[in-house]
Structure 1
Amino acid sequence: MKHEPVEAAVPPVPRDYHGINWAGFRTLYMREVRRFWKVGAQTLAAPVVTALLYMMVFVVAAQGARPPVHGTPFSTFVAPGLIMMSILNNAFANSSSSLLQSKMNGLMGDFLTPPLTPLEHVAAFSLGGATRGVLVGAVTWMAVLPFTRLPIAHPWAILYFGGGAAMILSLLGIMAGLWSEKFDHMAVVTNFIVMPMTFLSGTFYLVERLPEPFRTASHYNPFFYLIDGFRYGFSGHAEGSLVAGVGMTAGLMVFCACVSLWMFETGYKIKT
C-alpha cells in the first residue's frame, strides 16, 4: 500500500510591505496622540498653568521694576521663552514617558510585533511627542496674550525653531526612554540635563548680561539658539548668530534622529 508523501509544514510568509507601512505608522502615531489627549488636564492644562504662574511672578508682580530689553517690554521678551519652555518640556516628556512605561509594564512587544521598521517607529514616536509640544506651546501662547502683547516679526522663525525644538526634544525623549531602565534614570535626565539647559538658556534674561565665563558657556548651550531664534520670530532681535541657530537646529535634529534610529535597529535595551 502506497503512502502519499507528507509535505513539510511551511510557516506562513510574513506580509511584505513595500515602501512605508502607512497604516501601521498612522496607528502608532494616533496612539501617542490619544495617549496624552485622554489626560488633557495633566498634559495640556497643567503646563499652561505653570507658564501663567511664571508670568505672574516675572511680569505682573514685578511690573515697572523690569526695564525694557532692547526696546522691547519685558513681558514681550519673556513670553516667547515661556512658550518655548513649554514646548521643550512637553515634547520630551511625551516620548520618554511612553517608552519607559511600556518597558516597565512589559508592553514593548506591542510595538515590535507589528510590521513596522525602525524608521517608522522613530517617526511615529517623535511626531507624537512633537505634536504634544506644539499643542502645549500654542495653548500657552493664547494664555499669555491677556498679560502681554506679542507682535509677530518673522513667522518663519517661529515655525522653524518651534517645530525644530519640538522634534529635537521628542527625539531626545526617545533616546532617554530607551536608555532608562526605571523612573529614577528618567528623573536624572530631566532634572540634571533638560531642566538646567532650559533655564540657563536665556529664557528669563539676556545672556549678554552674564559675567564671563557664563556668557561664553551659554553660547554652547543648544537650547539658547532654540529660544533665541524663537524669540527673534516675535521681537525681530536675536542675541546670537541666527545662521548658527538655523544650522544647529537642523544638525541636532539629524543627529538625534540617527541615534534614535540606531537604538531601534540594534534593539538597544529593548530586546532584553
Structure 2
Amino acid sequence: MATLAKRETRRFVVVWTQTLLAPLVTAALFLAIFSVAIGPSRGDVDGVPFLHFLAPGILMMTVIQNAFANTSSSIVISKVQGNIVDTLMPPLSPMELLIGYLAGSVARGMMVAVAIGLGMWLLLGIEFHHPIWALVFVFLGSALLGAAGIVAGIYANKFDQMAAITNFIVTPLAFLSGTFYTIDSLPPLVQNLTRVNPVYYLIDGARYGVIGHTDTPWFGFLVCVVTLLAVMALCWYWLARGYRMKP
C-alpha cells in the first residue's frame, strides 16, 4: 500500500510544472480576470472585498479538480495501456488499493492548496481566519474528489468517456456551487438545488476557513464526511468485485 501511495504521489511530482505550477497560474488568471472585469464595480460581499470572497472558492475548485484528475487519470491510463494488471496482481486488499490511490490525490490537493494559499497571502494580503478548518475542508475535498476520480476511472474504459464525465459532471458541480458568487442572490429553487451539491459545502467550508464567511461549518463538515464515506464505500465495493477493472 505504501508503494502504491508513493507511486501515485511521484506521478504528479515528477511533472510538477503541469500538476502544481499550472493550477497556481490558472488560479492567478481567474483572480486577475475577475479583478479587472468586475472587481472594482462589484463592491463588498458580506462585508469583505469581492476578491477576498472569490479567492477561497477558486482555491477549493482548483484543489478538487486536481484531486479528481490524479486518481481518474492514473486508473484510465493504466486500463488503456493494459498495465492495470500490475496494480491488481499484488496481494493488496480493496481497502489498501483505495487508500493507496487516495493518498496521491490528497497529497496533490494539499500541495496545490498550500501553493495557492501562499499566493493569496502574499499578493492579496488575505489572512486565514480559521486555518484548521481550511485544512480540514481541503483534506475532505481532496479525498472526496479523489474517491470520485476512482469511481470515474473504474467506470471509464476510454479517454473520451473520462472526458465526458469531467466535462458534464465534475466541471458543472464545481462551477455551479457558489465558487464565483453567493447563493443568496439566486432564486429559492436554485438555492435549494445548490444545497444538494456536496461541492457547495466544500466551497463554503473553504470560505469559512479563509474569511469566516459561514455560520454553520459543522453542518457542511458533516455533509462532506457522509458523502466521502458513501463514495469510498462504492469504490471499495467496485474494487472488491473487480468491476470493469479485470480484462
Q: Shorter-chain-normalised TM-score: which range?
A: over 0.9
- CA distance in structure 2 between the partners assigned to 1:266 and 1:60 by the alignment: 51
* Amino acid of the structure 2 residue aligned with 1:185: Q
Cα deviation 1:137-169 (Å, max 9, x = unaligned): 211222233442222222231121110010000
- Structure number with greater CO (CA < 8 Å, separation at least 6) is 2
Per the TM alignment, residue 207 of structure 1 is displaced from its structure 2 partner at its CA by: 0.5
- Residues 1:75 and 2:51 aligned together: yes
User: Which residue number in structure 1 is paired with residue 171 of structure 2?
Assistant: 195
8 Å Cα contact 2:134-2:209 kept in structure 1: yes
The answer to whether the Cα contact below 8 Å between 2:198 and 2:223 also exists between their aligned partners in 1 is: yes
Partner residue in 2 for 1:66: 42
Answer yes or no: is the 8 Å Cα contact 1:55–1:144 preserved in 2.
no
Q: Distance in 2 between matches of 1:122 and 1:30?
A: 13
In structure 1, the residue matched to 2:15 is 39
Secondary structure of the structure 2 residue equivalent to 1:121: helix
Partner in structure 1 of residue 235 of structure 2: 260
Determine the structure 1 residue equivalent to 2:111: 135
Give 1:52's match in structure 2, choosing from 22, 28, 41. 28
1:243 aligned residue: 218
Within 5 Å, give how 1:138-177 maps onto structure 2: 138-177=114-153
Residue ranges of structure 2 left out of the alignment (5+ in a row):
none
Indicate the structure with greater helix content.
Answer: 2
* Structure 1 equivalent of residue 198 of structure 2: 222
- The answer to which of 133-142 and 186-195 deviates more is 133-142
In structure 2, the residue corresponding to 1:164 is in which secondary structure?
A: helix
Q: Which of the residues 90, 94, 104 maps onto 2:80? A: 104
Normalising by structure 1, what TM-score?
0.87
1:269/1:257 CA distance change after superposition, 3 Å: same
What CA distance in whole angstroms lies between the structure 1 residues aligned with 2:12 and 2:38?
Answer: 34
Equivalence for 1:114: 90
Q: Kindly provide the CA deviation profile for residues 10-45 of structure 1, in whole angstroms up to 9, marking residues without a partner as x.
A: xxxxxxxxxxxxxxx111111111111111111111
Give, in whole Å, the separation in 1 of the partners of 2:193 and 2:8. 36
**Aligned partner of 1:122: which letter?**
L
Q: Contact 1:75–1:147 at 8 Å: present in 2 too?
A: no
1:61 CA drift (Å): 4.5
Structure 1 unaligned runs (5+)? 1-24
Q: TM-score, normalised by structure 2?
A: 0.96
Secondary structure of 1:201's aligned partner: coil
CA–CA separation in structure 1 for the residues paired with 2:95 and 2:45: 43
User: For the aligned residues, what is the CA RMSD?
Assistant: 1.3
Q: Secondary structure at the match of 1:219?
A: helix
**1:38-95 deviation line (CA, Å, top 9, x unaligned):** 1111111111111111011112443421211111111111111111011100000000
- How far, CA to CA, are the matches of 2:186 and 2:24 in structure 1? 29
| Counterpart among 51, 59, 63 of residue 87 in structure 1 | 63
**How many pairs were matched up?**
247
Letter in 2 for 1:176: A
Measured after TM superposition, the shift of residue 244 of structure 1 is 2.3
Match of residue 20 from structure 1 = none
1:221 Cα deviation from its structure 2 partner: 1.0
Q: 2 CA distance for matches of 1:136 and 1:242?
A: 22
Counterpart position of 1:181: 157
Residue number in structure 1 paired with 2:244: 269
